[in-house]
């Protein structure tokens, strides 16, 4: 019985250490992608639905920050755009409904997160990267809804709550 508890404790500590390593690797990768220092943040959510041989799925990482130090980095980078989101980005993340009198068209959402996980942000900044192979303009979302597959990353910084949401979608 004693051996059982030693094995269970070893497994628990090993899993905990692996999760911390995974979080550190993800933080470094996303820090590089966004060109931001995320080390001051606290990763509070890490959801990943990527699976299968093609790697299709979505991921969401959420960080909170104790102060506005990340905001200063974001404001110094012209790739970050102030809110509101474009209609295309709104459709990708939350869905958009177009009521045209006799017809109603719903576009999106193209990610699988609830508004509790990825809330609508009123004030903040966003950073968009179109990772599709044929994309000519990586930071433009103008043609993204004209495709049959989507590979994009979007970061949203909520200035009201000092929270960063990072989404990757691959289809």
Cα distances (Å, whole numbers) of residue 79 to 74, 93, 124, 165: 9, 19, 14, 16
- Residue 63 domain-assigned? yes
- Residue 139 domain-assigned? yes
Q: Residue 157: which domain range?
A: 39-170
The pLDDT, as a whole number, for residue 141 is 82
- Residue 146 domain-assigned? yes
- Tens of pLDDT, residue by residue over 53-74, are 677 889 999 999 999 889 999 9
Give the range with max mean pLDDT: 34-43, 76-85, 110-119: 76-85
Total domains in the fold of the chain: 1
- Residue 34 domain-assigned? no
- Residue 18 domain-assigned? no
- Residue 16 domain-assigned? no
- Residue 23 domain-assigned? no
**What pTM, to 2 d.p., does this model score?**
0.82
The pLDDT, as a whole number, for residue 60 is 95
Find where tokens 């000519």 sit: 136
Phi and psi dihedrals of 17, rounded to 5?
Answer: -65, -40
- Average pLDDT, rounded, for the chain: 83
- Residue 46 domain-assigned? yes
């Amino acid at each position: 019985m004693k051996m059982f508890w030693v094995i269970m404790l070893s497994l628990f500590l090993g899993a905990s250490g692996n999760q911390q390593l995974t979080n550190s690797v993800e933080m470094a990768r996303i820090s590089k992608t966004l060109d931001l220092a995320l080390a001051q943040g606290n990763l509070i959510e890490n959801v990943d639905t990527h699976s299968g041989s093609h790697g299709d799925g979505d991921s969401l990482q959420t960080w909170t920050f104790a102060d506005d130090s990340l905001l200063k980095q974001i404001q110094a980078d012209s790739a970050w755009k102030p809110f509101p989101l474009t209609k295309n980005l709104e459709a990708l993340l939350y869905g958009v409904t177009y009521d045209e009198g006799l017809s109603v068209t719903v576009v999106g959402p193209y990610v699988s997160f609830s508004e509790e996980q990825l809330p609508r942000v009123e004030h903040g900044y966003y950073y968009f990267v179109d990772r599709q192979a044929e994309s000519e303009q990586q930071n433009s979302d103008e043609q993204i809804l004209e495709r049959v597959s989507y590979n994009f990353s979007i970061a949203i910084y909520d200035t009201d709550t000092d929270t960063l949401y990072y989404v990757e979608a691959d289809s």
